[in-house]
Amino acid sequence: MKLQENVLPEVESIWDAIEKNAWIPWVSMAEVAKKREQPIITKGEGIYLEDVHGNQYLDASSGPVAVNYGYGNTRIADALKDQLSKLHFLHYRIAFTQVVADVFRKIAELTPGSLNRIHLNITGSDAVEGAIKIARGYYDDPEKNKILSLYGSYHGLSYGTLSITGFTSFKDPFRLNIPSGGLHVPPPYCYRCPYGLVYPGCDIMCAQMIDEAIKGEGANAIAAFIGEPIMGVGGVITPPKEYWPLVKEICDKHDVLLILDEVMTGWGRTGKLFACEHWNVEPDMMTMAKGLSGVYQGISAIAVQEKIFDKFKDQKFYHSHTQSCSPLSCAAALAAISFIEDENLVAKVAEKGKYLRKKLEELREDSAAVGDIRGKGLFQGMELVSDREQKLRFSSKDPAFTGILEKKFLERGMIIRIGGYNSDTLYFTPPLIIENDEIDQMCEITWEVLKEIA
């Protein structure tokens, strides 16, 4: 497909507004306005988006790994229409309604073990912010208030979550006086082990260092360790099987809470309902968002163990927004959860994930640009390299190459996220409803692009 010139008057008008009035995050506005490369989309169906010219694009990454149930999912859309006509809003301080109660019950039922107390909010960042507050309030010792997390981790961009997000580049431009408490240790990044070790002869040093960090700071200084079961924005960094059980053991030993941030990995994405189930690790708190409604509405949750909630049950918890816990967002979540259950989606994701992984491994055999492939289920990352033997970073060759690569995919009718700590990982994280022939199409396009960049 050749991208058509954006000459239609409505396209001109959209770009005019973007250029003059919009301030979009994560991008340089000057560059976006100058290049005018993004497609102008009119609708979405299943795993495809369609632009004003009628071109179709396969969304290989589900937007920001969030459109789990595809575009135009009628089941969720119908539930929303129904709820909208009945009761669009009800404030949680005034009254309760069935659909909201159902969501509390359903999440508690489905989250592992005794994660039975559910707090609802709007964004993933809200959930993480809340978990930080709870962890810091849980201990009577006011000094036990630091939160340990991983370099390369992503937990949000709000003031509190930014303090624990492990990308300094996100914090630097604003000279933020980040609230105290964020400490980082290196991630379980086996392909480029931060300690120069090789699994399995490494004694899982990345987990041992959490022990060291807690001892170094003093166990009475650390309230919680937070991590993504598989690191998302950092590049689908997938730990070895020993990692999470060991981290849990270390946290328990030092009486440090374990928060698992399942905002990206939760609700079936990895072939289990929650990624922590791959390692049978039950955290003290779990955060979730994206897949909870497949972004049909903004809704997030913190699932908290009863023992932690007990500490707060007589207190007021000041953590919400006007629109938190709305019937509309709960209707979306409930419809999404019943879609997962009725479609047997989690088992299907496990199967399709194996199929996708096999196809990606074939690409690695054929292309020297593929360094590492990692992930679980339909959460797969492909790290590109400019020299496979020496593992030379792909991005080190030409920092502008990410943009060029994105355009090459776009020209072939595929939208793919290229990210990771060094912006050289392709995200194969399609909507969970993808079929095998669509996986073939996704890999076929990838093969064409890999051939071209070789």
Q: Closest distance between ligand PLP and the C-beta of residue 287, in Å?
A: 7
Q: Is 129 in the site for ligand PLP (CB under 6 A)?
A: no
What would the x/- binding string for ligand PLP be over residues 148 to 167, using CB under 6 A? ------xxx-----------
Q: Closest distance between ligand PLP and the C-beta of residue 394, in Å?
A: 22
CA dist., res. 385 & res. 369, Å (int):
5
Q: Closest distance between ligand PLP and the C-beta of residue 293, in Å?
A: 11
Phi/psi of residue 262, each to 5°? -100, 25
If the CB atoms of residues 166 and 443 are measured against ligand PLP, the closer one turns out to be: 166
If the CB atoms of residues 324 and 367 are measured against ligand PLP, the closer one turns out to be: 324
CA dist., res. 432 & res. 343, Å (int):
11
If the CB atoms of residues 138 and 379 are measured against ligand PLP, the closer one turns out to be: 379
Which residue's Cβ has the minimum distance to ligand PLP?
A: 124
Number of shown-chain residues binding ligand PLP (CB under 6 A): 15
Q: Is 417 in the site for ligand PLP (CB under 6 A)?
A: no
Task: Show contacts of 191-198: CB within 8 Å, 24+ apart.
Answer: 191/371, 191/372, 191/374, 191/383, 191/391, 192/391, 194/151
Q: Is 182 in the site for ligand PLP (CB under 6 A)?
A: no
The stretch near ligand PLP (CB under 6 A) out of 71-79, 260-268, 310-318, 321-329 is 260-268
Q: Do residues 251 and 223 touch, judged by C-beta distance below 8 A?
A: no
Task: Show contacts of 441-447: CB within 8 Å, 24+ apart.
Answer: 441/58, 442/58, 442/60, 442/356, 442/414, 443/356, 443/359, 443/360, 443/362, 443/363, 445/58, 445/409, 445/412, 445/413, 445/414, 446/363, 446/382, 446/409, 446/414, 446/416, 447/363, 447/366, 447/367
Selected binder of ligand PLP within 47, 99, 128, 162 (CB under 6 A): 128
- Strand pairing class (182-185; 417-419): unpaired
Q: Closest distance between ligand PLP and the C-beta of residue 233, in Å?
A: 6
Q: Is 419 in the site for ligand PLP (CB under 6 A)?
A: no
Q: Do residues 76 and 86 touch, judged by C-beta distance below 8 A?
A: no
If the CB atoms of residues 107 and 450 are measured against ligand PLP, the closer one turns out to be: 107
Q: How many helices (H) and strands (E) does the chain have?
A: 16, 16
CA dist., res. 372 & res. 231, Å (int):
15
What region does 116 belong to: left with phi over 0, alpha with psi -120 to 50, or beta?
alpha
Give the SS3 label for residue 15: helix
Q: Closest distance between ligand PLP and the C-beta of residue 157, in Å?
A: 7
Q: Do residues 453 and 369 touch, judged by C-beta distance below 8 A?
A: yes
If the CB atoms of residues 125 and 293 are measured against ligand PLP, the closer one turns out to be: 125
What would the x/- binding string for ligand PLP be over residues 33 to 72, using CB under 6 A? -------------------------------x--------
Q: Which of 236, 186, 227, 264 is nearest to 425 (CA)?
A: 236
If the CB atoms of residues 154 and 199 are measured against ligand PLP, the closer one turns out to be: 154
Beta bridge partners of 288: 301
Q: Closest distance between ligand PLP and the C-beta of residue 300, in Å?
A: 6
Beta bridge partners of 237: 231
Selected binder of ligand PLP within 70, 124, 152, 229 (CB under 6 A): 124
Beta bridge partners of 374: 381
Ranges within 208-237 binding ligand PLP (CB under 6 A): 228, 232-233
Selected binder of ligand PLP within 51, 59, 129, 261 (CB under 6 A): 261
Largest distance between two CA atoms of the chain: 64
Selected binder of ligand PLP within 47, 183, 250, 263 (CB under 6 A): 263
If the CB atoms of residues 100 and 264 are measured against ligand PLP, the closer one turns out to be: 264
If the CB atoms of residues 51 and 262 are measured against ligand PLP, the closer one turns out to be: 262
* CA quadruple 60, 62, 68, 73: dihedral sign: negative
The stretch near ligand PLP (CB under 6 A) out of 83-91, 119-127, 172-180, 340-348 is 119-127
Give the SS3 label for residue 25: coil
Beta bridge partners of 370: 384
Ranges within 387-406 binding ligand PLP (CB under 6 A): none
Q: Closest distance between ligand PLP and the C-beta of residue 224, in Å?
A: 15
Binding site for ligand PLP (CB under 6 A): 64, 123-125, 128, 154-156, 228, 232-233, 261, 263-264, 289
